Amino acid sequence: MTMRTNYFLLLVMLLGIIPANNTHADNTTPKSVILYTPYTKISVSPGASIDYSVDLINNTDELVDANLSVSGLSGSWKYEMKSGGWNLSQLSVLPKEKKTFNLKVDVPLKVNKGSYHFVVTAGNTRLPLSVAVSQQGTYQTEFTTDQPNMQGNSKSTFTFSATLKNQTADQQLYALMANAPRGWNVVFKPNYKQATSAQVEANSSQSVSIDITPPANIKAGSYKIPVRAATGTTSAELELEVVVTGSYQMELTTPEGLLSADVTAGDVKRIELEVKNTGSSLLKDIQLSANKPIDWEVSFEPSKIEMLKAGETATVIAVLKASKKALPGDYVTTMMVKTPEINTEAQFRIAVKTPMIWGWVGVLIIIVSIGVVYYLFRKYGRR
């Protein structure tokens, strides 16, 4: 380039006809219409709902009517644009102002792990957005509990707290079932109300309480109770475990089953008793006692039973002494046996009889009375 040409260009620049740096001027010129959101790339889990707040900024001196659209999402992804509670397809912005609208994007449950890209368009303005799905998606049901194992005796009701999670895109009505042994009772309570089914919204969870009651005479041991939630398209199973420590049951009777006896006032009566362990657990430290009439005495031989295995029977002698002042008639004496776990009792009807000596005294009084009457009749009868 000649010296004359250089002088000419310098003169033109000084006069302001040509900008000194054309590239710099283009970069600093603000765009006329802008779409803006701070969250251009986020990471979510399958089934998540993303709420974007998007600004449409009008930097021009004229009113802008922009058609809104979203492109790049597959058919399983759902979205909606709203503002002021209304669904949007076009937005109008005054000069030098901005309008905000909401974009909700629902990530499907059945989706592969990876990055997904889509574009929000307002007229000729584009806003590229990215979503990173953090894990592989599923279309399934989950039935879970934090405490799958419980322990107690056969009289207990075992209550488990479970969670039924619908990881599908549709509302599901689940049938609730249990595969329990015969005699067991299983009750489902979705949302704490007894029912045989539970309705769960898409990608939602519901609490389910499960009450399990074992049979009355169940043996000690560990029992598996599978429970299941199922629809026509999806299902889940949960295995619960109940550990029964055994039942505590005891019976007090006599070898013949009779609960009555007779005794003479002031005498001693020995009554043979049988203590039976009718439960499924070992009974220890079995104490015997009696609720007796006033001035009566009751003792036991032996005074207590150290232990009694399930199904076994122990023989005890109750030594009963009636009061000397007891009048003839029936008296009730209650025999009791107890352990720290259980107690039982039996009522005995004791018939008190008059001692023989008083019978002979009575006969003698009658004879004497007859003799006196006869004597008086003989002596004074002829007068």
User: CA triplet 258, 349, 331: central angle to 5 degrees?
Assistant: 165
Triad 95, 101, 104: Cα angle to 5°: 155
pLDDT > 50? residue 88: yes
Select, from the ranges 2-6, 121-125, 266-270, the one with the highest average predicted confidence (pLDDT): 121-125
Q: What CA–CA distance (Å, rounded) separates 147 from 370?
A: 90
Cα separation, 27 vs 254, whole angstroms: 109
Q: What are the backbone dihedrals phi and psi of residue 262, each rounded to the nearest 5 degrees, phi first?
A: -130, 155
Separation CA 252–CA 233 (nearest Å):
57
CB 178, CB 228: distance < 8 Å: yes
pTM, two decimal places? 0.52
Q: What is the DSSP letter of 75?
A: T
116 or 311, which is more confident?
Answer: 116
What does the alpha-carbon distance between residue 161 and residue 15 come to, in Å, rounded to a whole number? Answer: 85
- For the segment 305-328, the average pLDDT, to the nearest whole number, is 90
Enter the tokens of residue 362: 């009575």
CB atoms within 10 A of CB 246: 18
Q: Which residue has the tokens 């020995």?
A: 270
Both structure tokens of 33: 């219409």
Residue 21: is its pLDDT beyond 70?
A: no
Supply the pLDDT for residue 1.
Answer: 47
User: Which of 32-41, 120-129, 147-156 has the weakest average pLDDT?
Assistant: 147-156
Q: What is the pLDDT of residue 105?
A: 95
CB 110 within 8 A of CB 46: yes
**Nearest CA-CA partner of 246 in 273, 214, 275, 276:** 214
**pLDDT of 291 strictly over 70:** yes
CA distances to 146, 166, 381 from 176, in Å: 19, 14, 103
- Give per-residue pLDDT as tens, 207-254: 999 999 998 778 888 999 999 999 988 899 999 999 988 778 899 999
